[in-house]
Amino acid sequence: MFSTIKTLFKYNKKFAFGFTVISILVFLAILSFFSPYDPKVWNLTPRDLPPSIQHPLGTTSMGQDVFWLATYAIKNSLFLSIISMFISRIIAIAVGLVAGYKGGSLDRILMTLNDSFVIIPLLPILILIASVLKGGLNIVNLGILLGFFGWAWDARVIRSQILSLREREFTYTARLSGMKTSSIILKEYLPFIVPLIMATAMNNMLWAIGMEVTLAILGLSSLEIPTLGTMIHWSVNSQSLLLGIWWWILTPVIICIFLFISLYMLSVSISEFLDPRSRLKRIEVMKE
């Protein structure tokens, strides 16, 4: 695992950029545990102060330090995306592995269910659910909800990979040797799809954060919990741009941009790492 990361970091600039940015954001998220301010309490600092030595990213109109508020927002947004990614990976792996290996009627049933989740308009459904709950979507609940809706595309990708592996010689050898289906799936197939799972996991985290930001801007999530989305919501709601408090809204927006780009770069670089043609080029470069 570490050797793979080292190789990607050395020979893939996209991975190096994405990994570096994510590492910095994780460091900032860890800093939130040492924050001198409670992120849910207002009027802890003077209002609307521009960036300074005491307040590196200024303060908000609600008397909060933007820098320390951003550390909490990064932590909560990453935590939400990890919950969503973890739940969606479990469903996607299970559906993709079983449908791809078993085939037949079970495959048709699972793919019918899968395609139902693919074609349904997720954003209107999430808006409807959030409206019904009326702001009751905290980090955990929203992460679980997004994970439940965010698995379908990746399950189909995993299924395609399993369909290819099922026709290889080692599969027939494993069957003839009397290996159980569960053993074939877990021991023979799972190692092949781990990099694919990692690549799709990055995409799912990106999608989950984007959905959270969208729901928060619309005021449909739990607004008292600091996330990148709620930071943008309160800054827009307080008309920070019109009042000249640019540091309040630019901070979460810039963080979102770097977060989205870094996750996308990680996903693309891992996908390229899996491409046989890229592997040949990498081997040639290493020989030189």
pLDDT digit string (tens) for 225-261? Answer: 899 999 999 999 988 888 889 999 999 999 999 999 9
41 burial via Cβ count (<10 Å: 0-12, 13-18, 19+)? exposed
- Residue 71, pLDDT score: 95
pLDDT greater at residue 194 or residue 263: 263
Q: Is position 279 within any domain? A: no
> Of 133, 148, 143, which Cα lies nearest the Cα of 220?
133
Q: Is position 45 within any domain? A: no
For the cut 60, the answer to whether the pLDDT of residue 276 exceeds it is no
Which tokens in the block code for residue 201?
């996991």
Boundaries of domain holding 94: 81-225
**pTM of the entire structure?**
0.86
Rounded Cα gap, residues 242 and 22, in angstroms: 32
pLDDT band of residue 57 (cuts 50, 70, 90) is very high
| Angle at which helices 228-237 and 246-274 cross, to 10° | 150
- Residue 100, pLDDT score: 84
pLDDT digit string (tens) for 179-222? Answer: 776 777 777 777 778 778 888 888 899 999 999 999 998 888 88
**Averaged pLDDT score across all residues of the chain:** 84
pLDDT greater at residue 4 or residue 12: 12
Using an 8 Å Cβ cutoff, are 85 and 208 in contact?
Answer: yes
pLDDT greater at residue 32 or residue 102: 32
- Residue 163, pLDDT score: 81
Per mean pLDDT, which range of 171-185, 222-236, 274-288 is the poorest? 274-288
Q: Is position 34 within any domain? A: no
Mean pLDDT value of segment 253-281: 79
pLDDT digit string (tens) for 138-171? Answer: 888 899 999 999 888 888 888 888 888 777 777 7
For the cut 90, the answer to whether the pLDDT of residue 85 exceeds it is yes
Q: Is position 35 within any domain? A: no
Q: Is position 67 within any domain? A: no
Q: Is position 168 within any domain? A: yes
Q: Is position 172 within any domain? A: yes
Report the percent of the chain where pLDDT is more than 70.
89
The residue type found at 117 is: F
- Residue 253, pLDDT score: 95
Report the percent of the chain where pLDDT is more than 90.
36
Q: Is position 115 within any domain? A: yes
Number of domains in the chain: 1
Rounded Cα gap, residues 251 and 216, in angstroms: 16
